[in-house]
Structure 1
Amino acid sequence: MSSRSILGKSLFLFIVALSAAALILITSLRKEAVREEPVLPVETLIPFQGDLEKIITISGFVESETTVTVLPRIGGTLEDISVEMGDPVEKDQVIAHIDSEPYTLSYNQARAAYLAAESTFKRVSSLYATKSVSQQNYDEAKGNFDALQASYELAELNLSYTNLSSPVKGVVLQKHVSRGSMVAPQVPVVTIGDIENLRVKCGIPEIHYSYFQKQGRSMEVKIRVPAMDNRVYSGTISHIAPYVSSQSRNFSIICGIDDEELTLRPGMFAYVEFVMDKRIGTYYLPYKALSGGGLWYVDEENTARFVPFEPQFGNDEFFELPADLADRKYVLKGQYFLEEGKTVRLLGE
């Protein structure tokens, strides 16, 4: 065999071996590429089930249905004040006393003058009946009697005003003066409020006026008070204003508060939640589960699937999900990089 023939065979075998090695290398690289294709991690959740409420929240302040500031009707020195802030008081209970000595003197003086005028008028009246005195004498006696009677009744009334009484049943919310102070009409002594009948006054945007007119009396109201560790009280709409303010574009409503334990106090800040609509025992998801006009979910084989979906009911956080879509694991995080049919890895599993 010639050397040229041997060289040709060797070259052929080398080429075949090189081709086989290249084929094995390419196949190995392809398998490695397939094996190294990343599997996207996603976070999923199963739909919640419960009551889903559509609400509007308005802030307001707790106030007493009846708040009265007690003002003296006469001036003088406050001789005694028998209540302090927080004390309960009954209707017509005497809570303070103004020095009555000058008013007692005025009363005694007016009474004496009245009794003298009354005696004179009776005597003149008897004489007038027998024509023993003129009409003028009778009129003068009667005029004097009427004037002194009015002075006497005024002195008696002023004397009674030295005792300051509570016009309502309630609790002393504020004490404005102390014993020994000089008081006069229009100078407040105490403020009394009824804490058994509390309410919240709110301004509602006018866009909701029609709905409140139709459904307001039966609407569910929740009143959350931060000062009471965010405790929630039930409320009832008692009054709806018949007009809308041209300045604020709001209308006022008043909500009574159910507080049987009497834990609330006037002036407390409150959030008032009005339930505009409600779905009972429904399924729902947070809005961040939505992506690209639908929802991504993971099937039993850990494969990403997409279903078009547009919410029809919800609130600020959640939307309602039909019952036939509730038995799936929906992607909450990682859905923006998914492709239909791609395998995913569930975080936490």
Structure 2
Amino acid sequence: MRPFVYTQPQNPQAAVSAAAANKQAKYLGGGTNLIDLMKEDVERPTELIEVADLSFNDIKSNNAGGYTLGAMASNSDTANHPDIRKNYPLLSMAMLSAATAQIRNMATNGGNLLQRTRCPYFFETSMPCNKREPGTGCGARKGMNAQHAIFGWSDECVAVNPSDMCVALAAIGATVHVQQPGGKSRTIDFADFHRLPGDQPEKDNTLQPNELITAIDLPKPIFTDHYYYLKIRERSSYAFALISVAAGLQMEGGTIAKAGLAMGGVAHKPWKLTEAEAFLSGKKPTQDNFQQAAELAMRPARTLSDNEYKVEMGKKAIVRALTQAFEKNA
């Protein structure tokens, strides 16, 4: 690991100002991803700005009828919070499927949104990677790509987003609050927070330089009774999803009033299944309708040399997640 300066600002504005003063600085929350990358010499910050102790760890109801998650609250505290378990069980289920209890105890909500891909070409500094070093090429494009993207990829990058929490947030719909230099703040719709690689795969999200995530707003809960998070992986722990599906159904009189659907392990960002959601609205929760929704969802898939299996796996995963979501509390 390379040497760095450790800074402990006393308030959010001081943190943002410290970041603005050093382009090579990084915010440090739980450090569960950043420190690993520093050890592998993938990330090389000259300064770490401690933000985990700032006052953004509350989990509370908001004026819109939903809840606000502090960016510095741990994944464990969030997933196990009584109000989150009751009102957003899909989010809780997804978060508890991630990593290990020890990592969830350290990882922060804001950091979860910022975690970087687990593509082996990204971690291996001897291999080409446009995300790690723009212009060097994508080793996975024609290399070992069985775990890589089937949606939204470009010739520059075929990596996938590794988060479970973010898949659930995409299905539920959320808003990200960020602090800017100069005391200003702004909000970002969750669907617009992460970005596809295009010709700038080194950019994972739409944050502007020095912006600090302070909170995540959840909308009024509607998927409290019918929900499921399905995570398919090569082993039951210490493994990221080959494919995951977050499914939420709002039922009214035996009909689907609204569906929330998103996939993980398939794209550079959590992949929102908007066409399938629209198809299911007003439909009966039948296997045939679930199958048609899955076909619609997977229709835009573009496979690589080693990951064609993800298309059929994705269809079956969507049907299974929707079925489990409907049968829960039915």
Scaled to the shorter chain, the TM-score interval is under 0.3
Q: Greater strand share, 1 or 2?
A: 1
Larger radius of gyration: 1
TM value normalised by structure 2: 0.18
Greater length-normalized contact order (CA 8 Å, ≥ 6 residues apart): 1
TM value normalised by structure 1: 0.17
